Structure 1
């Protein structure tokens, strides 16, 4: 008796689907970093600006979403900010990125937990009046609900004019 042959394309299709599923699962468990494009939609007063520096993402990192920018201008401020995260490797990545980011005179590097979920923001938008700025995530469009094994925490780092952190009184 002859062994039964399978149609030739079926094995390749199964292999391709399996590879795609594994790639998606691997991506869900890795920390990611991206450099978002600056937000050109806002025109802050007096030449003040906010320039997105990075979006840092870690799986199962914990924290709480808070779009209010937190100044990361001292070692104590950085330690307090990263202290909210359960994932120590993620916290260390944030500390390293803050340490290697230089901002100019009259500017402060700030951080915000911009999202926790199954999707990672593609960009950051900095919105609001001086003293009440928010770092808002721009999420990718998805035609279907996205599921993941563990939520991903995304932190936005922004190089911001001190005038935007103030209560609106510049000078």
Structure 2
């Protein structure tokens, strides 16, 4: 019994030391900071570098101002489609028909109704996320299909949630970008 106890104790001590060393490397990798996004829900998206700028009608990053990001739990909707121009009550009604939650439809309608859109710009909306997190800001791109609004990475995402949250971004863009 004494002969087995010594090697067993030595193996345990060495394994603990190795695991502690591996844990430090994993913690360093896990604490790698994510790109930071603005914390306010209203603001202008980051401007592209001068050589990445496109003409208003061309493909690429579009200057946009986040008017609001509204969300509701278990509301349905699919992110990733082209943005919808909200140029009146009929457009808002058509856009909100995709939601299974009347609460989210009311929030989108209220946000669109209360939006102050500068002259020469239009209000567009898009489902930007369905998951555990509500993004704090978005970016807008011009693609062959139209404008796409994408949620910026959440700085500290939740690991799990009880029900998915649908987030809709309302952004003001130059009318020539649509």
Matched, 1:149 2:149: no
Query: What aligned pairs does 1:130-145 form with structure 2 within 5 A after superposition?
Result: 132-142=146-156
Q: Kindly tell me: are residues 67 and 131 of structure 1, through their superposed partners in 2, closer, same or farther at Cα, counting changes over 3 Å?
A: closer
Closer/same/farther in 2, CA of residues 156 and 40 from structure 1, 3 Å limit: same
* 2:45 is the counterpart of 1:39: yes
**Runs ≥4 in structure 1, deviation > 4 angstroms?**
none
Q: CA RMSD in A?
A: 2.4
Q: Distance in 2 between matches of 1:131 and 1:104?
A: 25
> Pick from 81, 84, 92: which aligns with 1:70?
84
Partner of 2:25: none
Cα distance in 1, alignment partners of residues 127 and 83 from structure 2: 9
Inter-partner Cα distance in structure 1 for 2:144 and 2:116: 22
Shift of 1:142: 4.0
Length-normalised TM-score, structure 1: 0.67
Query: What is the 5 A alignment of 1:1-171?
Result: 35-42=41-48, 43-45=53-55, 49-128=63-142, 132-142=146-156, 146-165=159-178
The range that moved more, 84-93 or 101-110, is 101-110
TM-score of the pair, normalised by structure 2: 0.65
Shift of residue 108 of structure 1? 0.9
**SS of aligned partner of 2:43:** coil
Q: What secondary structure, in the 3-state scheme, does the structure 2 residue paired with 1:114 have?
A: strand
What SS is found at the alignment partner of 1:45?
A: coil
C-alpha contact (below 8 Å) 1:120/1:139 kept by paired residues: no
| Cα distance in structure 2, aligned partners of 1:77 and 1:53 | 17
Larger Rg: 2
Instruction: Return 5+ residue gaps in structure 2 as ranges.
Output: 1-39, 57-61
Shift of 1:129: 5.3
- Count of residues in Structure 1 that have an aligned counterpart in Structure 2: 131
C-alpha separation in 2, matches of 1:128 and 1:84:
23
